[in-house]
Structure 1
Amino acid sequence: MVERQFNTKLKQVQTDWGGEFRSLSSFFQSLGILHRLSCPHTSEQNGVVERRHRHVVETGLTLLAQSHVPPHFWQFAYDTAVYLINRMPSRSNSSLSPFQHLSKHPPDYSFLRVFGSQCFPHLRPYNAHKMEFRSTPCVFLGYSSQHHGYRCLDPETDRIYIARHVCFNELCFPFKSLQPSHKPGLPPSLDPYTSVYPTPPLLDDLLDQTPPVTSPQPPHPDVPANTAAVIPDPPSPPSSPPPTLHTYHRRHKQPASVQPPNTTATIAPPSESTAPSNTQSVQHTRPSNLRQNPKKTTPYNISSFVSSTTDPDTEPATFTIANNFPQWRHAMAEEYSALMRNGTWSLVPRVPGSNVVDRKWVYKIKRDQQGHIQRYKARLCAKGFRQQQGIDYSDTFSPVVKATTIRLVLSLAVTQQWPLRQLDIQNAFLHGDLQETVYLQQPPGFVDPAKPDHVCLLHKSLYGLKQAPRAWFHQLSTTLHKLGFQGSKTDPSLFVYSSGGTLLYMLVYVDDIVLTGNNPQVIDTVVQQLGHSFPVQDMGRLSYFLGVEVLQKGPDILLSQQKYILELLQKAGLTDSKPLSSPISTSANLALGDSPPFDNPARYRQVVGALQYATLSRPDISYAVNKVCQFMHFPTTNHWSTVKRILRYLKGTISYGLLVQQNSSPVLHAYADATFNTLTAFTDADWAGCPDDRRSTGGYAIYLGTNLVSWSARKQKTVSRSSTESEYKALADAVAELTWLQTLLQELHVPIQTVPTLWCDNLGATYLSANPVFHARTKHVEVDFHFVREKVAKRQLSVQFISTDDQIADVFTKPLPSQRFPNLRSKLRVASRP
């Protein structure tokens, strides 16, 4: 079967010492297949199939218990369990099911039904008289391995019908209400009016299933094609054989020449050596850790295993591997010492009934922007997913600084030539005070020999705890308030110090801090004061923050993600691909189901999610990334081709990044004010551009001086009835962002000298923002969009018309030709690194 169906030659077969396998040795030898046997009473040598066998048994027993189907129908339950397991997504297959991994197309989940539920097969074509009932109540017993149909048991006659057209009542389980005396027991007699051979399955049915294993059978004479067939049962224990199968097929006008039934592979009953009958047998045949961590039984590349166990520069997955290398032992000892110095916990006897959270070591190699190793880092992490809400945690939210805030502060610092200082708080999460009572198991490798049964009562937060980020941020913000900093209301992760002409800004992203201001001496004092409260590592001038390189380009800086993009290309296997000049084709018209489904949706989501992070410094790919993000739930091959085009464009522009300049840019002099404390916005929208729901895409670009600080490319939430309406909605989104930026600049003590200007290339939207015109065509527009008029009336902003040729936001709403795209890219301040 493997050779015929999957074009793969078998090289070796691993079995246990069962007598049924010993006789196969000569057969395997004749084919040149190596037959490996596990040692007697050593089931762990065949652990993968042993664990899979247990999975089938447990799933089958669950199906029987849930549906109240009698145990002697175990064969159908186990057969259904195999059918379902083969169609369940698996982490070892990148979230693909085994069926999809082999067949290269996803399974049809709409075909699945609840085992043991009530069903009504369509029997009209096979009734002898028109007064007979069209159906009869049956019990669903799984899926036929030879037909694209359902097995339906009639409890009254003990006959099993195989039918394609079946109605289900999945909330009713007939065996639950039947009395034991009425439940089927011994095998029913054969129907004397049916043939013992089935008719050939239809071609479309064959395409919907994996072909069964076949064995040669003697020829059989022709039989009429309109008769039902009885499938002989495979052998079963004498005490509880399953009922006989009766199948019904569509009638054909002409008799068909029918071959004898193929012998299909069936699930054997669990033997005494493998099927657990009690807890003790489970412990003897299969280690308990296989139950707790299915990954341990998943096959993986042996070269990866050898690399992780012999190379200290590879991040180990377990404590056992890490403990073999002095680098990682030193890292663990360093982390443990920091925990003890910090008074993170105290050992206490285990409280009966308390929730004790598990823990593990996590290993990470920290590298610089060139990829060189800086340090080996080991962290003791709690398995927070085992915490119980209301018992050992409550609130968990913790803010992080917004990307727009980072770009705004960097723009202010560059234009005023302020120093940019980077700090790192070591073991940041360990400094938060816990308000709840949390118990933790002692860390591996550091169990107190005098108190091995004690547990850790946590006083400080720990990585992995659900409330750890919130506890750390509360501790840091409290310390900063004591130093005179004030938290921003528009962005809680921004702190501002203003006193006596000294102005400092602090950006906080968990334990990474950027500090800038107009007084270097005060900055040094703040760093020293923070060092008294936390272990602070002074990284010096800002060079690498959140995966973004900050490159000096004279008085200017360039925000580059070259290292990140290179790693993304390597993961996608496109390092040797041919570069392209634009991220999306002008002929691209992506839609749902526009091509066959992509065979690896998990990979699609991973790559597209990574591309979203790349837009932090690459606004030129925002529109293309927004388009491919709309198909995360059901990607197709066409969508994946667009993703690869974005990656190929990034390969050709891998050295590009977002430029932040001290002086104004000549390319924006016509529309943007050169002073550093003025805001200018460009807005645009298409109309009904989405072929699936006819919603429009809106976008904007906002500059502080001539530096781009905020942008957006997003599909609008509602359908627009005209291009004026879609442009007006995009205008409203830009005004909302401008209002937020104005408030943020006020908190930063940056005065806005002139009224912000918005440039729009739609005359109707421009007139609508200043006057209540076109009432008949705009009366349906939601009221909240009209706050633009209020801003304009109060002279808090100005809306001006711009020609489409000069509209910078065009790059966020539609694919552009290769001749125009580079021009707009330069106006987005995207440039090559020095």
Structure 2
Amino acid sequence: MGMARSMMKAISMPGWFWGEAVTTAVSILNRSTQSVEGKTPYEVWHGHQPTVHFFRTFGCVAHVKAGGKPPTKLEDGSTPMVFVGHHEQGTKAWCFYNPITQRVHVSRDAVFEEDRPWDWGEEKGAGPNDDSEPFCIELITIGQACRTAGAAEAARTPPTSSAPTTPASTSSRAAMPTCGSEPRTPTATPPAPTMIQFASPPSGEPDLDDDHDEVPLRFRTVENVLAEREATKELLAAIKDEPATAEEAKGIKEWRMAMLEEMASIEENKTWTLVDLPKGQRVIGLKWVFKLKRDEHGEVVKHKARLIAKGYVQRQGIDFEEVFAPIARMESVRVVLAVAAHRGWSVHHMDVKSTFLNGELVEEVYVARPPGFTATGHEEKVLRLHKALYGLRQAPRAWNAKLDASLHELGFTRSKCEHGLYVRGAEASRLVVGVYVDDLIIMGEMNKEIDSFKLQMKKLFKMSDLEPLSYYLGIEVKQGECGIELRQSAYALKLLEKAGMSGCNARATPMEVRLKLSKASTTPLVDDPTMYRSIIGSLRVGYLSRFMEEPRTDHMAAVKHLLRYMEGTINYGLWYSGGGGGEISLLGYSDSDLAGDIDDRKSTTGMIFYLGANPVSWLSHKQRVVAFSSCEAEFIAGVAAACQATWLGHLIEDVIGKKTSPPWLKMDNMAAIALKSHAHDRSKHIDTKFHFIRECVDRGDINVEFVGTKEQLADILTKPLGKALFQELRERMGVIKLT
């Protein structure tokens, strides 16, 4: 508080900015060296040194770039405002207060006059929507008295008012608390006679107003103060979407209910028993993890609390053996959705509640009591697990084994080439189920078969029936009579907000033409490498991920260019059109550049496959060996595409239940096509595994055909292209603007 008070006094800042001043002071102190080995608290917590280049003088004048439509030549390009702090952690934006409109603006584009404070003039001491009343100093006088248990409980009752008790940096200052009307803070239920209540100073004490002529004192009951503290805890916890600890979560009703629901599921499932810890056994700790479940629009639909075992302390061979559990690949999901669109099938979605609690353990595992819960009279005992908990290394495998056995009992067969896919029946009664941990995608021609399967699953597990599929692993799905629409608009918006680039200027292409980046770049290192890695980890990109170890400013500039492209394509996605139930054919394109990586001179493979007219699989990755020529690079890319085509062909056969015609693979290099049929002395150095494509062609598993460079759709996946060619190939790939 001392630093906050000093900052405000130095520039004569009005008192109603104390919340912003305290927040700024905390940010500064967290990045200031302390007594812990000469490190800052930020460095101790995050493991790397903080950056302070974004700090500015609190309360100084800043000229903020005008938002909305671009100004005319005679209009001001910026608006003078007051700098009042930094935006959310992880962004590089600042918060500015406009005294004229009494609103807070968030922007990354501003010019600061750090040696010039705002001239508040008559405004000092008057907050928004309060032109006359002074800033209040609150005084609490507490005497000796006894409080009953009922009074204590009443004091803990949250106030009914929704008005915040501290100033909040929101998009509008209109809701900021003022001091003109009594009371300023929420008022609790009138106290019982046994409660402490001092509406005025005790008679035995001097008149405190004698020393405060300029500012009137305000007296409140202790009960009101305690109630206000509870309300403040609720508000502070609500600021952060997902609490970090159980103690923090218990302050919010929704999270408390989520914790109780999780404990009820565990008890109902007979997950553990209370026992004495056997000699020689170790106890695994537990912790709570809180997650908000959102719909396709990003709106919160459920508060989920998970009790997690600290599985990182487990030892392989002692506490567990096998851990692998298969899940359906995204390519497999797109294949089944494309088949569903082609044949007019319905696609439904179900979710297994408390998934891992259904997995039965074969190992002997002991855990501590959950944080926030206790077993009265058995404080020394521990919990022996009979079924898995989230966080245990063997939990996914235990659940998958349980689900696999259950689906086999229901007559399903697991796909040989995709262990996260199950099929049952033939022709009209065909039913396909895709599994991703606890999410089940169900599709088939007959709705009665889907409904029958849902009833069977509800008898085996506690299930949530999400009806027709609308959202799956960050993908928004919209089913219609003519096809299926796939997009990730909400995910893209969230990523742009995370990077602090919401509303940025859009770009027409994801990369600049002829862009060449290197690990040996001499540009400065980025200030926040964690942010770079976080953004790349949120995207499915290969080129920029090569520089995650030591990202530099030119690498970050390329990332921002990519995010600007995302801003301009928020509403783009895939449209899987119906095919009337006719023959399904698989068509692929493969291409390669030559020595595109300037660090190791390796080439980049690009491929894309279509089921009918719908793109279901695509890939862009750096080849593992150096190619001596474009022929060799294209040949290596063709081999990778042949492997993918073979796998996709088998997967499609499993889904539809019958054999399909061999897929076609199109390449734009005649020498590479000739090489797959006729070996040559100049190709004898090529690794034997790359000649797999010859065997595929000889067996008739795939057909290879030449395609002109202008018709090579995979070209977009090997190198940056100009705007016109890029947009043409993007549309032909199937990525279009959706309504």
TM-score, normalising length: structure 2: 0.70
Q: 1:437 to 1:593 in 2, by over 3 A?
A: same
The aligned residue for residue 817 of structure 1 is 722
What is the rounded CA distance, in whole Å, between the counterparts of 1:639 and 1:479 in structure 2? Answer: 49
The aligned residue for residue 368 of structure 1 is 295
The aligned residue for residue 610 of structure 1 is 538
Q: 1:501 to 1:556 in 2, by over 3 A?
A: closer
The aligned residue for residue 573 of structure 2 is 657
The aligned residue for residue 695 of structure 2 is 790
Q: 1:634 to 1:703 in 2, by over 3 A?
A: same
What is the rounded CA distance, in whole Å, between the counterparts of 1:499 and 1:681 in structure 2? Answer: 28
Q: 1:794 to 1:326 in 2, by over 3 A?
A: closer
- Aligned counterparts, 1:22-171, within 5 A: 53=35, 55-56=36-37, 82=38, 90=43, 92-93=45-46, 95-97=47-49
1:527 aligns with 2:454: yes
What is the rounded CA distance, in whole Å, between the counterparts of 1:50 and 1:647 in structure 2? Answer: 32
Q: Which amino acid aligns with 1:813?
A: T
- Aligned counterparts, 1:7-406, within 5 A: 53=35, 55-56=36-37, 82=38, 90=43, 92-93=45-46, 95-97=47-49, 309-311=236-238, 314-406=241-333
What SS does structure 2 have at the residue aligned with 1:335? helix
1:725 aligns with 2:632: yes
Q: Pick from 603, 626, 634 the counterpart of residue 696 of structure 1.
A: 603
Q: Which amino acid aligns with 2:592?
A: A
Q: Pick from 461, 465, 470 the counterpart of residue 392 of structure 2.
A: 465
What SS does structure 2 have at the residue aligned with 1:364? strand
Whether contact under 8 Å (1:676, 1:704) holds in the other structure is: no
Distance apart, 1:501 and its partner CA: 5.4
The aligned residue for residue 668 of structure 2 is 761
What is the rounded CA distance, in whole Å, between the counterparts of 1:531 and 1:371 in structure 2? Answer: 28
Distance apart, 1:385 and its partner CA: 1.5
The aligned residue for residue 551 of structure 2 is 635
Q: Which amino acid aligns with 2:702?
A: L
1:343-368 alpha-carbon deviations (Å, 9 max, x no partner): 01111123344211111222222222
Whether contact under 8 Å (1:309, 1:316) holds in the other structure is: no
What is the rounded CA distance, in whole Å, between the counterparts of 1:692 and 1:534 in structure 2? Answer: 53
Whether contact under 8 Å (2:345, 2:443) holds in the other structure is: yes
Distance apart, 1:498 and its partner CA: 2.3
What is the rounded CA distance, in whole Å, between the counterparts of 1:391 and 1:754 in structure 2? Answer: 50
Q: Which amino acid aligns with 2:725?
A: R
What is the rounded CA distance, in whole Å, between the counterparts of 2:461 and 2:682 in structure 1? Answer: 61
Whether contact under 8 Å (1:557, 1:660) holds in the other structure is: yes
Q: 1:91 to 1:534 in 2, by over 3 A?
A: farther
What SS does structure 1 have at the residue aligned with 2:674? helix
Q: Which amino acid aligns with 1:96?
A: H
Distance apart, 1:576 and its partner CA: 2.2
Q: Which amino acid aligns with 1:682?
A: Y
The aligned residue for residue 518 of structure 2 is 591
Distance apart, 1:318 and its partner CA: 1.5
Q: Pick from 469, 487, 503 the counterpart of residue 560 of structure 1.
A: 487
Q: 1:302 to 1:593 in 2, by over 3 A?
A: farther
Q: Pick from 578, 581, 588 the counterpart of residue 681 of structure 1.
A: 588
Distance apart, 1:698 and its partner CA: 1.0
What is the rounded CA distance, in whole Å, between the counterparts of 2:576 and 2:309 in structure 1? Answer: 41
1:493-532 alpha-carbon deviations (Å, 9 max, x no partner): 1111125852111000010110011232122111111111
What is the rounded CA distance, in whole Å, between the counterparts of 1:51 and 1:438 in structure 2? Answer: 43
Whether contact under 8 Å (1:586, 1:816) holds in the other structure is: yes
What is the rounded CA distance, in whole Å, between the counterparts of 1:325 and 1:505 in structure 2? Answer: 41
Whether contact under 8 Å (1:593, 1:636) holds in the other structure is: no
What is the rounded CA distance, in whole Å, between the counterparts of 1:540 and 1:694 in structure 2? Answer: 50
Whether contact under 8 Å (2:426, 2:657) holds in the other structure is: no
Whether contact under 8 Å (1:676, 1:706) holds in the other structure is: no
What is the rounded CA distance, in whole Å, between the counterparts of 2:307 and 2:538 in structure 1? Answer: 27
Distance apart, 1:473 and its partner CA: 0.8
Q: 1:310 to 1:813 in 2, by over 3 A?
A: closer
Whether contact under 8 Å (1:313, 1:365) holds in the other structure is: no
What is the rounded CA distance, in whole Å, between the counterparts of 1:377 and 1:346 in structure 2? Answer: 24
Q: Which amino acid aligns with 2:526?
A: F
What is the rounded CA distance, in whole Å, between the counterparts of 2:402 and 2:440 in structure 1? Answer: 15
What SS does structure 2 have at the residue aligned with 1:378? strand
Q: 1:654 to 1:694 in 2, by over 3 A?
A: same
The aligned residue for residue 204 of structure 1 is none
Distance apart, 1:30 and its partner CA: 13
Q: 1:48 to 1:707 in 2, by over 3 A?
A: closer
What is the rounded CA distance, in whole Å, between the counterparts of 2:612 and 2:729 in structure 1? Answer: 17
1:644 aligns with 2:560: yes
1:249-297 alpha-carbon deviations (Å, 9 max, x no partner): xxxxxxxxxxxxxxxxxxxxxxxxxxxxxxxxxxxxxxxxxxxxxxxxx
Q: Which amino acid aligns with 1:820?
A: L
What SS does structure 2 have at the residue aligned with 1:582? coil
What is the rounded CA distance, in whole Å, between the counterparts of 1:332 and 1:720 in structure 2? Answer: 56
Q: Pick from 726, 731, 734 the counterpart of residue 829 of structure 1.
A: 734
Q: 1:52 to 1:455 in 2, by over 3 A?
A: farther
Whether contact under 8 Å (1:488, 1:747) holds in the other structure is: yes
Q: 1:310 to 1:736 in 2, by over 3 A?
A: closer
Q: 1:451 to 1:817 in 2, by over 3 A?
A: same
- Aligned counterparts, 1:450-529, within 5 A: 450-498=377-425, 502-529=429-456
Between 821-830 and 739-748, the greater mean CA deviation after superposition: 739-748
What is the rounded CA distance, in whole Å, between the counterparts of 1:682 and 1:524 in structure 2? Answer: 39
Distance apart, 1:598 and its partner CA: 1.8
What is the rounded CA distance, in whole Å, between the counterparts of 2:412 and 2:394 in structure 1? Answer: 24
1:781 aligns with 2:680: no
1:649-707 alpha-carbon deviations (Å, 9 max, x no partner): 1110100112211139xxxxxxxxx9552111111111111111111111111111111
What is the rounded CA distance, in whole Å, between the counterparts of 2:660 and 2:426 in structure 1? Answer: 22
Bigger radius of gyration, 1 or 2? 1
Structure with the greater relative contact order (CA < 8 A, sep ≥ 6): 1 or 2?
2
Distance apart, 1:553 and its partner CA: 4.7
Whether contact under 8 Å (1:419, 1:520) holds in the other structure is: yes
Q: Which amino acid aligns with 2:665?
A: L
Between 775-784 and 538-547, the greater mean CA deviation after superposition: 775-784
What is the rounded CA distance, in whole Å, between the counterparts of 1:662 and 1:485 in structure 2? Answer: 26
What is the rounded CA distance, in whole Å, between the counterparts of 2:611 and 2:250 in structure 1? Answer: 52
What SS does structure 1 have at the residue aligned with 2:547? coil
Q: 1:568 to 1:48 in 2, by over 3 A?
A: closer
Q: Pick from 699, 722, 738 the counterpart of residue 645 of structure 2.
A: 738
Q: Percent identity?
A: 37
1:412 aligns with 2:339: yes
1:577 aligns with 2:504: yes
What is the rounded CA distance, in whole Å, between the counterparts of 1:552 and 1:426 in structure 2? Answer: 25
Whether contact under 8 Å (1:700, 1:713) holds in the other structure is: yes
Q: Which amino acid aligns with 1:598?
A: V
